[in-house]
Structure 1
Amino acid sequence: MANQDNKSPESQLVSFLSGNPLLGSCLGQKEMDDLLGTLPSLAAPSANTVQAWTEAMMNYQRDTLKLWMNPWSNLTGQEGSAVIEPQAGDRRFKDEEWKNNPVCNFLMQSYLLASRAMCESADASELDAHDQRVLSFYTRYAADALAPTNFLHTNPEVIRQAVESQGQSLVDGFKNMTEDLQSGAITTSDPDGFTLGENIAGTQGSVVFRNELMEVIQYKPLVEKVYQRPLVIVPPCVNKFYIFDLNERKSFVKHALEQGQNVFIISWRNASQEMCDVSWDDYIQKGLWTAFDVARDISGIKKINVLSWCIGGTMMVTALAAMSATERRNIVSATFLTTMIDFSDPGEVEVFVDQKQIEGFHNRVETSGVLPGNDLGRAMAMLHANESIWHFVINNYLLGKTPPPFDVLHWNADTSNLPKDMYNFFVNNMYQKNLLKEAGGVTVCGKALNVADIDVPCYFVSATGDHIVPWRTTFLAKDLIGDNVEFILTEGGHVSGTAINHPVKCRRSFWHGGESGLNGDDWQASAEKQAGSWWEHWHAWLSEKGGKQVAAPEQLGNDAYQPMEAAPGVYVKEDVNQNG
């Protein structure tokens, strides 16, 4: 038998990570390979790196000694005696036992000191930009995973709950864990808390068109007169469309209807293995362009307004650039929510985008025919692991609780698979090679694209706290598309600032009207900050492009497009595991 002591440090680290029941749930072989791939670069550290490592270790040893040499404070839990405190906003240690119980307090501080030393050492490694980001990211991920809150024997709340329930909480937690293992995803919202068409995605409408790729839904008007030109919404195909229609208090669709918009929306189909050859061109031709034609035919008018979000926005950019100048004149305006054209800085997502990882995903989708939506969901959850992973590990498995119904988390977990060809085109041309911003860099529907050809009035919205699509990167669109671009920066995140930002009781603000020719930060400094939701500013902008107001249609669809089924339709109900 081989001597375990002869194993390389890299293999020992792999064994530890994969053997940890919590780490192993979300840190797969691909992620571990990417982390370990950065280690050879550390073999010859610079003098600055060595100095930073030395300082980090000396600080760790000094503060650990303080912790050990202060027994009275640790035993009494006196306020102000702590060597280190959790950072503001860190809710992992909110239970009073972490402060009042000397053993728990000592354990917490020991962990925080070790975690700080790990992360400071990783951050000081001076690798190339991408490797540095990867090393820092996975070091923080590992440090978060090793928190004492994540383990049965070191979490006082878990121990207390187990004693008080006579072990029932552990039984319930094991049941929750086995159910999640079967589904392949951590439950983040009560799965029985929402029913599509009833208490979520409940705005009245009808499916008026369906093909093998999408459904088009037309919504029932809520006012007597509507703008003549319809609004067509293109959601991302990685999640379901109903982020725009969660409930009456949050629904973007309902609010647009109340403002007199005649709203159509695409509901993308969840890709199955049989759809592996569906291409980006198919999404443009059979998706966006077809939906535009449906809205035109039903409304009886050629000119339309369009709105898109995230990858749906990238699709929209390519769809507009691939049109002829004559065809583009029928697009009166285009609104883009959190949309990148220049992918030079994709933000935190960059840790998942390099040649090695792309090849790994490529090999997987070549075999399965689709990129599983659960894979995308896990990757996004890793970006905020404490809130999106470990919180639910503790709540669901260690405490044995069922998470309460939460519409945003319910939608977030309702992911979709992506077809192989479409996914490969998107990642290779956008994230890996960043060709969309280059004239002639990308060919869509037989046309070499130049985004500068897009002369449609555009309205770009980004959020200050968006960790998936950084606002400074989306801001670069102002220099890539024609002069008629309105840029809006809102407070909030990828979802909470954009698709969800209802004016009622809105506590956020947004910036608009900044000076031209500036970088993002200087533009923000020159812009006007206005309290409230950007939705109302957008409706004022869009109303000038809606045409005259006409009597609202009494019936949805028309003779050629008969209503097929009540909203939210059929495709939205397809489960990611059903077609994976």
Structure 2
Amino acid sequence: MANDPGDFWKQQAEPFRAFFDMQGEAMREMFGQLPQAMAASQSQPGASPYTPEDVAEWSRTASEMHAMWLEFVQQQAKKSAATGNPLDPAQFMLLTQSLAKQVPTASFEAAQKMAGDTMALWQGVFSRFAAGSEDQDHKPELPRKDRRFSDPAWQDHPAFALLHQTYLMLSEYFVSAAKNLKGIGTEEKKQLEFATTALVEAMSPDNFILTNPVVLKRTIETKGQNLVKGMRHLIKDLERGQLTHTDADAFTLGENLAATPGKVVFETNLYQLIQYSPSTEEVYEVPLVIFPPWINRFYILDLTPKKSFIKWAVDQGITVFVVSWKSADASMKDIVWDDYIRSQIEAIDKVRERLKVPAVHTIGYCVAGTTLAATLAILARRGEADKVKSATFFTAQVDFEKSGELKHFIDDGQLQMIGSLSNDGYLDGRYLAMTFNSLRGKDLIWNYVVNNYLLGEDYPAFDLLHWNGDVTNLPAKWHNDYLRDLYRDNKLVVPDALEADGTPIDLTQVHTPSYIQAGKEDHIAPAESVWRITRHFKGPVNFLLAGSGHIAGVVNPPDANKYQYWTGDSSAASLQEFRDGATEHPGSWWPNWIEWLEAQDSAKVPATGKRKPGGKGDKVIEDAPGRYVKAR
């Protein structure tokens, strides 16, 4: 029998209801036997401190909590389906509209395995509390581990141990059922698996007051003041329409973030061009122009001074320029990719003209790196490739076949939904923030729901999280074209399938020396996807694999002594072949990059004249970091 994709969840419901009924019966039977076993053990050395009355009470409590939790999950699922709120993480399963119209009924052969797992789980929990030992080090381990339930309160009370262990087992089963669903394509199956994972994360018992023992304990200790404080946090977040991760008052742009000294030396209605003041007497003759992604604020590369890539690069003797993109508003409703490519070319020319140099080094981060690749191809087609001495790519993709989890948000249904959210010609940055956060829902959504709203914790002062919450609006027309033409249709790697500013784009014409950095654990631009740049560029390429992910893999200053990186054969046939022969190095990859950059051109000049922005006779607009990055 064929069903609508949404019926997948309905098909799962009946076995799950039966499962909970079975769990309830098993719980009552087990706890019915446990008092006698515990009573018999009371006379033994090291006897359990739990009385039969305690155990009977646990039985009632656990049964009630299971019933409450299941009822809540069902109610929430109904509410989510009724509201259709695309920003509700539990609602992401409704965004998988590219699934085939007819999906075969899911097989429940795995139910037998689940029954066996259920018995093993109950036996494991039972043995932990019937062991007759007060020594935690000698108690049997619980069958499943998850850091959400690492607090002793989840481990030491039978009801909560049973609750979270049952949840973890059900989560495994639920995700497995989606992963093994027959009759749909690979990509559609990945979308369903992603949606299922988001749903089970949303329904975790630690997210709810009555099923989280840590929250219950805090509530008793504070007489409910944690919930009062959490309500204040919730109301503020509802008012701003965004989940808060950090103390909003802890950082001020230009003071303790984005504080590297410099001047805005040029601006358009789309970007400001910032030049940073030198900190060395001599600087490399070839300047550097950094293109950060316009889906975020540029100061990810200029966080606190100890983490700032820009400050570090200036201290190495590089004349650094950075483009600060304007957050979109209604006036930018007609902005398309061509405008960003023209802006990159314009910025390159402005720097060349300002410093009277023939060429510049460039860096493109994420989507700006994708755009830089197109810019290089256009310059090559126009016979102007020598304007760029080198190009560095931070976690940038040009071939989107293996572009990872973000592809789950790109099909006709989602593109239509994004269009409906962009009535004023721009996409509210809060939607994009929610999308990225949902890729790591446990860490970036539900962890903060528990800490902020339930435990009533104070917000931490964390520069990276401050940046992460500083959202940027996007021109809707550009965003839609980008998702459709690049992510979905992968046209950028097809010679002349796309054009910009009247020039066809062919990446195979790029011969510019390129340094390509990928993050080993990057979930936004997977290393396998970034690696594929090496297939298309024809010039010399140097590929480097950095430890960590999309942000920490890039923002890793040498003084931090964190992570590692791998160097190897950049002409290898595959990323796996590169990794098999790669050499691991401890710490930051930034020094490796500066060595490579110096090898492209080591000439130096005095840091005088317009190398010092705002000096005598140099007309500038304002101090860094400029107005655009501060506009909300």
Partner of 1:43: 104
Contact 1:205–1:217 (CA<8 Å) still a contact in 2? yes
Q: How large is the RMSD of aligned CA atoms in angstroms? A: 2.7
Alpha-carbon deviations, 1:16-36, whole Å to 9, x = none?
426269997942697342347
How far does residue 223 in structure 1 lie from its aligned partner after superposition? 0.5
Partner of 2:384: 327
How far does residue 158 in structure 1 lie from its aligned partner after superposition? 1.2
How far does residue 501 in structure 1 lie from its aligned partner after superposition? 1.2
How far does residue 377 in structure 1 lie from its aligned partner after superposition? 0.6
Partner of 1:34: 95
When residues 228 and 68 of structure 1 are mapped into structure 2, their CA distance, relative to the original with a 3 A threshold, is closer
Partner of 1:284: 341
Please show how residues 450-529 of structure 1 align to structure 2 within 5 Å. Answer: 450-498=506-554, 500-514=555-569, 516-529=571-584
When residues 289 and 193 of structure 1 are mapped into structure 2, their CA distance, relative to the original with a 3 A threshold, is same
Task: From 73, 76, 84, give the equivalent of 2:143.
Answer: 84
How far does residue 258 in structure 1 lie from its aligned partner after superposition? 1.1
Partner of 1:260: 317
Partner of 1:4: none
Please show how residues 246-395 of structure 1 align to structure 2 within 5 Å. Answer: 246-285=303-342, 287-323=343-379, 324-365=381-422, 367-395=423-451
When residues 419 and 18 of structure 1 are mapped into structure 2, their CA distance, relative to the original with a 3 A threshold, is farther
1:159 and 2:219 matched: no
Alpha-carbon deviations, 1:66-93, whole Å to 9, x = none?
368658439978655355221xxx3211
1:410 and 2:466 matched: yes
Matched residue SS, 1:326: coil
Task: From 158, 181, 205, give the equivalent of 1:148.
Answer: 205
Task: From 454, 466, 473, give the equivalent of 1:398.
Answer: 454
When residues 18 and 178 of structure 1 are mapped into structure 2, their CA distance, relative to the original with a 3 A threshold, is farther
How far does residue 424 in structure 1 lie from its aligned partner after superposition? 1.9
Q: C-alpha distance in 2, partners of 1:152/1:64?
A: 24
Q: C-alpha distance in 2, partners of 1:161/1:28?
A: 26
Task: From 563, 567, 574, give the equivalent of 2:624.
Answer: 567
1:444 and 2:526 matched: no
How far does residue 337 in structure 1 lie from its aligned partner after superposition? 0.7
TM-score (norm 1): 0.90
When residues 163 and 564 of structure 1 are mapped into structure 2, their CA distance, relative to the original with a 3 A threshold, is same
Partner of 2:52: none
When residues 433 and 81 of structure 1 are mapped into structure 2, their CA distance, relative to the original with a 3 A threshold, is same
Partner of 2:589: 534
Contact 2:121–2:143 (CA<8 Å) still a contact in 1? no
Q: C-alpha distance in 2, partners of 1:68/1:36?
A: 40
1:19 and 2:72 matched: no
1:106 and 2:162 matched: yes
Alpha-carbon deviations, 1:219-241, whole Å to 9, x = none?
01010000111100000000000
Matched residue SS, 2:148: coil
Q: C-alpha distance in 1, partners of 2:362/2:302?
A: 17
When residues 464 and 23 of structure 1 are mapped into structure 2, their CA distance, relative to the original with a 3 A threshold, is farther
Alpha-carbon deviations, 1:160-206, whole Å to 9, x = none?
22222222111111110010011111100111110001111111001
Q: C-alpha distance in 2, partners of 1:505/1:84?
A: 37
Contact 1:514–1:523 (CA<8 Å) still a contact in 2? yes
Q: Which structure 1 residue ranges, 5 or more long, are not aligned? A: 1-6, 576-580
Amino acid at match of 1:409: L
Amino acid at match of 1:537: N
Amino acid at match of 2:484: N
Q: C-alpha distance in 2, partners of 1:37/1:75?
A: 54
Partner of 2:608: 553
Amino acid at match of 1:416: T
Amino acid at match of 2:104: A
Contact 1:298–1:557 (CA<8 Å) still a contact in 2? no
Q: C-alpha distance in 2, partners of 1:76/1:185?
A: 47
Partner of 1:199: 256
Matched residue SS, 2:393: strand
Q: C-alpha distance in 2, partners of 1:493/1:298?
A: 36
Seq. identity, %: 31
Q: C-alpha distance in 2, partners of 1:69/1:295?
A: 70
Aligned length: 559
Contact 2:131–2:139 (CA<8 Å) still a contact in 1? no
How far does residue 520 in structure 1 lie from its aligned partner after superposition? 0.7
Contact 2:377–2:509 (CA<8 Å) still a contact in 1? yes
Matched residue SS, 1:92: helix
Contact 2:8–2:105 (CA<8 Å) still a contact in 1? no
How far does residue 483 in structure 1 lie from its aligned partner after superposition? 3.5
When residues 276 and 220 of structure 1 are mapped into structure 2, their CA distance, relative to the original with a 3 A threshold, is same
Task: From 422, 430, 443, give the equivalent of 2:486.
Answer: 430
Contact 1:60–1:117 (CA<8 Å) still a contact in 2? no
Alpha-carbon deviations, 1:329-359, whole Å to 9, x = none?
1210000011111100111112112222122
Partner of 1:3: none
How far does residue 548 in structure 1 lie from its aligned partner after superposition? 1.7
When residues 148 and 31 of structure 1 are mapped into structure 2, their CA distance, relative to the original with a 3 A threshold, is closer
How far does residue 517 in structure 1 lie from its aligned partner after superposition? 4.0
Task: From 240, 265, 273, give the equivalent of 1:208.
Answer: 265
How far does residue 421 in structure 1 lie from its aligned partner after superposition? 1.9
Q: C-alpha distance in 1, partners of 2:507/2:86?
A: 41
Amino acid at match of 2:510: I
Decide which structure has the larger Cα Rg and report it: 2
Q: C-alpha distance in 1, partners of 2:8/2:108?
A: 22
Q: C-alpha distance in 2, partners of 1:112/1:269?
A: 44
How far does residue 300 in structure 1 lie from its aligned partner after superposition? 1.5
Matched residue SS, 2:559: coil
When residues 265 and 546 of structure 1 are mapped into structure 2, their CA distance, relative to the original with a 3 A threshold, is farther
